[in-house]
Structure 1
Amino acid sequence: MKKKFIPVFLSLGIGLIAQEKNGNTESDTIKAWSIQGKNTVMLNQAAFSNWIGGGANNVGWLAGANYNITYEKDKDLWENIIILGYGQNNTKGIGTRKTQDVINLSTNYGRKFAESWYLSGGVSLQSQFAAGYEDGNNPEAAKISNFMASGYVNAGVGVTYRPNDNFTMTLRPANARFTFVLDKELQYAGNYGLKNDSDSALFQFGFLGTAIYKLKLMENVDLMNTASVFSNYIDHPERLVLSYGAILNMKINKFLSTNITLDVLYDHNQIQKTQLKQTLGIGFAYNIDNGVKRSDKKDNQSWLKK
C-alpha cells in the first residue's frame, strides 16, 4: 500500500508545481481557476535501550494531500476538494498498523441567483484505502472495513451560500446517498445498514447539509473546519448522520509544518456510539497557491453585479 500510495502525492505535487511556475506575472495569475493545495509527509520515531521507564521501538509515517480547486467566472462557481491521507506505525513486538486512512473527494457546481447564493448540484465520495480490523487494526483480528467497504457516494441538488473564500455552506433538500460494501466478507445483514446478506449497497434519500469554514488564528497558524449532517427521509429520519473534522496547521517554515487533526462521527448504521479520531504530526510540507481568484481582486468583481 505504501509503495502505491506515495506516487499519488508525488504526481499531484509535480503537476501542480509545474503549473505554478508557468504563472510569472500578476496578469497571468488573475484568472478564473485557482488551486490551493498542501502535500505533507510526517515522520515519527522512538528508540529505547535499557530504559527503565520502558517503551517499545517504533517508527511511523503519515502522508497527505489536501487540495481546493476552484473556478469562478461571471455567475459560475465550481469548487472541487481532494483530501487524501494514509499513515502507518510499526512497533517492535506488535507489528505494522495503519494510523490514518481517508479518501474524501467532492465537486459542486453553482449558478448565482442572488448575492452570495447559488443554485447548485454536486457529488462526493468518502472511503478508505486499506482494510481495517478490530483491536487496533490488528490484521489477525476480525476485519471491519476495506476499500469501498464502506464507501459513501452522495449526489444531490440544492443551494450554496458562499459570502467569501473562507466560508461555504451547501444545503441539499434532495440528496441520494449510496452506501457501498464491496468486500464480500462484510456483506451481511445489519452491517453498515445492509438489509440482507450478500447485499453490496444501500440506498437512502434525504437532506444533506455541509459547511467549510477556514480560520486564520494567527500568523502561520490556520484552522479548517468541516461539518455535515444527513437525514434519511425514507427510514428513521431522526437518526442523523453527523460529522465534524478539524485540521490545525502550524507552519514552521516553507517546508516544515505541524498538523493536528480531529474527526468526530456519529452514524447509527456503523456503530451506535460517537466515533473519535485524532492525529498529530510534524514533517515536510509543500504548499501550492496557484492563481488569484477574480473575487480576490476588487477591480475584477464586475461579475458580482450581474
Structure 2
Amino acid sequence: KFVEFMFHKVTVVLLLMFGFQNNFHSQSKQDSLRYWKLKSLYGLNGTQSSFVNWNAGGKNNISLIGSISASAYFAKDQLNWSTDLNIALGGILYFDPEQNNPIQKTDDRIDISTSYGVKFSKRYFISFVQGFKTQFVKGYSKPTDLNFVSRFMAPGYFNFALGTDYIKDNNFSIFASPMASKATFVLDDSLSEVGAFGVLPGQKNRLEYGAFFKMKYNKVIMKNVEMKSKLELFSNYTNNPQNIDVNAELIFVFRVNSLFTSSAQWNLIYDDDINIRDANGNVGPRTQFKSVLGIGISYKVENQKK
C-alpha cells in the first residue's frame, strides 16, 4: 500500500512539474528552431499479385501499408526533451471469385514516447520518461473469425518512469529506472470479461510497478541506408520479476532515390501477462515475432542543426 501510494504521489508531482516547465519553455522568447532537431518520414508501401492459369496456384491480392515516423529533439543549456512518434496501418485484400474474403490486417500500431531530462553530468540526465502504445482497428486471430481479439485501447499501454538517462546525441540513448510503472488498459467489455492481456476478469485496467530499461540507437550505415533500433525491458517487482517483458524493434530503410524506398522491419515482443494459444492448443506466454518487408514511396522532412 505504501509503495503504491508513493508511486501515485510521485507520478502526479512529476506530471505537474514537467508540464509546467514544458509550458514555460515553450513560451520563452529565447527558444527558437535552432534548439530543435526535427525529422519525419511518411511512407506508403504496397504489393500487387495476380494469377491466370497459374499451375503453382495463388490468389489475386493487393496490399498496402501506410506509416509515419517522426521525432523531435530539443536541447538547450541543461535541458533535454525528445519525442518519438511511430504509427502504421496496413492490410491485404484477396480477390477470390468463389468467396468474399475479408481484409487481413498486416500492420497496426500507435507508439508514442517522450523523455524530459535535466543534465547533472556530461551526457547524463535525470529524466522522466512516458510511453503510450495501442492500435487503430480490430484484430482477429484468423481471417474467418467473427470475434475480435484486440482493438483500439484493448490493449492500451502507458509507461511512466523516473531514472537516469545517458544521451550521446539524438541518435543514441540509454535509460534505466528503478522506479517505473506500467498501466495496461482493456477498454472493451468482451475482452475485459475474459481477463485478456493480463487484467483480472471484469476489470479494465492493471497497474504494475517495477524497473524499466530503454535503449535507442539510430545510425546512417552508408549513403541511402538508415538503421533504427529500440529495446525496452520491464520487470514487475511483485509478480515474477525474473520474467522480463521485452519489446524490441529493428528497422532498415533503403532509399532508392528521393521518392522511392524499400524497408525491412522486425519486431519481437514478450509479455508474461499475455496468454497465447499455440497450434497444439496449449495456452501460455509466448514470444511474439513479426517481420515486414516492403517497397514503396516515401517523403522525408528534416530540420537538422548543423
Same fold (TM over 0.5): yes
Counterpart check, 1:80 vs 2:83:
yes
CA distance in 2 between counterparts of 1:273 and 1:141 reads: 24
Equivalent residue, structure 1, for 2:244: 240
CA distance in 2 between counterparts of 1:190 and 1:268 reads: 14
Q: Percent identity?
A: 27
CA distance in 2 between counterparts of 1:244 and 1:163 reads: 20
CA distance in 2 between counterparts of 1:88 and 1:129 reads: 12
Q: Deviations over 1:64-105 (max 9, x none)?
A: 000111111111100000000000100123331110001000
Q: Deviations over 1:137-159 (max 9, x none)?
A: x2634321111111100012111
Q: Which of 282, 292, 305 is the aligned partner of 1:279? A: 292
Equivalent residue, structure 2, for 1:181: 186
1:150-165 superposed matches below 5 A: 150-165=155-170
Deviation at 1:190, TM superposition (A): 4.0
Equivalent residue, structure 1, for 2:50: 47
Counterpart check, 1:223 vs 2:227:
yes
8 A contact 1:207–1:231 mirrored in 2: yes
CA distance in 1 between counterparts of 2:274 and 2:252 reads: 27
SS of aligned partner of 2:232: strand
CA distance in 2 between counterparts of 1:89 and 1:145 reads: 18
Q: Which of 115, 126, 137 is the aligned partner of 1:130? A: 137
8 A contact 2:195–2:202 mirrored in 1: no
CA distance in 2 between counterparts of 1:131 and 1:248 reads: 28
CA distance in 2 between counterparts of 1:189 and 1:56 reads: 36
CA distance in 2 between counterparts of 1:81 and 1:30 reads: 17
Deviation at 1:165, TM superposition (A): 2.8
Counterpart check, 1:65 vs 2:68:
yes
Q: Deviations over 1:196-238 (max 9, x none)?
A: x220000101111111111222211111110010001122211
CA distance in 2 between counterparts of 1:30 and 1:152 reads: 32
Q: Which of 97, 114, 120 is the aligned partner of 1:113? A: 120
Equivalent residue, structure 1, for 2:209: 205
RMSD of aligned residue pairs (Cα, Å)? 1.4
Give runs of ≥4 in structure 1 deviating > 4 Å: none
Partner AA of 2:130 in structure 1? V
**Taking structure 1 as the reference length, what is the TM-score of the superposition?**
0.83
1:31-42 superposed matches below 5 A: 31-42=34-45
8 A contact 2:59–2:94 mirrored in 1: yes
CA distance in 2 between counterparts of 1:290 and 1:219 reads: 18
CA distance in 1 between counterparts of 2:139 and 2:40 reads: 28
8 A contact 1:30–1:291 mirrored in 2: no
Equivalent residue, structure 2, for 1:97: 104
CA distance in 1 between counterparts of 2:56 and 2:194 reads: 47
